[in-house]
Amino acid sequence: MEHPPRSFGTASISLTVPEASQGLRLDHFLTHLQEGVSRSHIIGAIKGGLVLVNGAAVKAGHKLKAGDAISGSLAVRPAVDPPPVPQDIEFAIIYEDEAVLVVDKPPNLVVHPGSGNREGTLINGLLHRYHDLAGVGDQDRPGIVHRLDKDTSGLLVVARTREALRTLVRDFKQRRVSKIYVALVHGTPDREEGLIAEPIGRHPIHRQKMAVRPIDGRPAISRWRVLQRYGTYSLCEIAIETGRTHQIRVHLASIGHPVAGDRLYGSGRNNDLFPRQMLHAWKLVFAHPVTGESMSFVAPLPADFNRVLEVLQVDRC
């Protein structure tokens, strides 16, 4: 059976950048604003000179200023994949109001659908509980401001309106959000605390990995301190000033203390002892996108993490 050809339309753009979007990348700004257009299509249009800022062609990563005039057009294509379906997924909501949600994501839960993985994600569960979330931002990632790896547990903030999404994305980009993690790592650092300021970029050979890239990496800063020592393991607190992909895992591995159970960066050391990578997003502090009030949340260590610590404590005695 032959399928009819897909129809392609165009979306004209004539926008003025508001104060709240100061500092955002052009592609991020348009992705959160334009329904029915994927980020990859937006980037293609920018590269092709179809989108102008103040009448000039710029790069996708161009940082916007309040008052900038954006004009041009985008090709609107039907989504390749259907939108995520609502599903009853188990996770805890620790705060909600009309603008934001704060989720305590359990381990082994993917945040949003991807290629070949359309169901069983946090987004499917959020759409089941909050039907109006579907129109907030990207189709596959409605409301998502930042992400956690599948095996990482802990706190995520989710926007419930487009305005909240734009504001929170801006605040994350401008490093106005405090993100503190807890990690169990291999080894015992010879200091009680330290700073890792090493640029991170895509691994030159293993493209599914990130790596410290001094020449062409993007700036990344992580601060760590030891909370508890367990023989050949240490429990550490890590505060990140940037949010690069796999930042904590790459940084800790680079100083010889990879996250326990990390099968991608941990060199396979004693991974069978751990149910997953032992990394937890413990504390999150941000300004409410509507009121500006400082919001602070803490997620206790999940049961699987505590069980590992109990075993290590017994072994140490």
Q: Are strands 178-186 and 279-287 parallel, antiparallel or unpaired?
A: antiparallel
With the C-alpha atoms ordered 309, 298, 113, 169, is the resulting torsion angle positive or negative? negative
Burial 260-273 (b: 16+ CB within 10 A, else e): bbbebbbeeeeeee
The residue with tokens 């305590």 is 104
**Catalytic residue of the set 104, 138, 140, 149:** 149
CA 29 to chain centre: 16
State the alpha helices, DSSP H only, in 214-255: 247-254
Distance CA(149)–CA(147), nearest Å, equals 7
Q: What is the DSSP string of 256-288?
A: T-PBTT-TTTSTTTTGGG-SS--EEEEEEEEE-
Say if CB 30 and CB 36 are below 8 A apart: no
| C-alpha closest to that of 247 among 216, 280, 211, 290 | 211
Q: Is 216 a catalytic residue?
A: no
What single-letter DSSP state applies at residue 70?
E
Known catalytic residues are 149
